[in-house]
Amino acid sequence: MSLICAMFPLLAACSGPPDAVRGYESPHIIENNRGGYLNDAIAERRRLAAWGGAVEIRGVCNSACVMFTTLPNACLSPDLQLGFHRSSSPIGAFVGNAQLSQFFRGGVKRMFDDVWSKLPDGEFATISAQEYVQLDPQSRICGS
């Protein structure tokens, strides 16, 4: 298809975002997401970044979900609670923590690297959206 689109860029099938990012509505809502597999979340984050539309994170965002907070068009609902913990990656916490840490900035990155990634298994550090924005001023509360 890419060869056809290169030759005939005005075809309807060639306009708009690539197939990998179609299907999102703006704003895309991430709500009460308790996390999941890091590689799945990384792939979803790539798709959302390529799509470029507004993303609102609401309710609870734990574990792998927190990587969505640094998307360029993401905002955090005022009542959002974010949960951080040490990676439980089957290939080792060190690798999983590094995978997650790459998506953080500023004070969130420092807190994750120095404190939250070292919590005992099963323990979470939970912060509010306002506390998150204090640690990472590039992030924003929805509607502000």
SS3 of 35-76: the string is CCCHHHHHHHHHHHHHHCCCEEEEEEEEHHHHHHHHCCCEEE
pLDDT at 134 over 60: yes
Q: Nearest 5°: CA angle at 34, between 58 and 88?
A: 145
H and E: helices and strands count for the chain: 5, 5
pLDDT level of residue 2 (50, 70, 90 thresholds): very low
Per-residue pLDDT, 111: 95
Q: At what angle do helices 106-114 and 93-101 cross, to 10 degrees?
A: 170
Reference 109, options 140, 69, 51; nearest CA is 69
Query: Residues 61-119: pLDDT tens digits?
Result: 999 999 999 999 999 999 999 999 877 654 544 456 788 899 999 999 999 999 998 88
Amino acid at residue number 37: Y
Buried b / exposed e over 46-68, threshold 16 CB at 10 Å, is ebbbebeebbbbbebbbbbbbbb
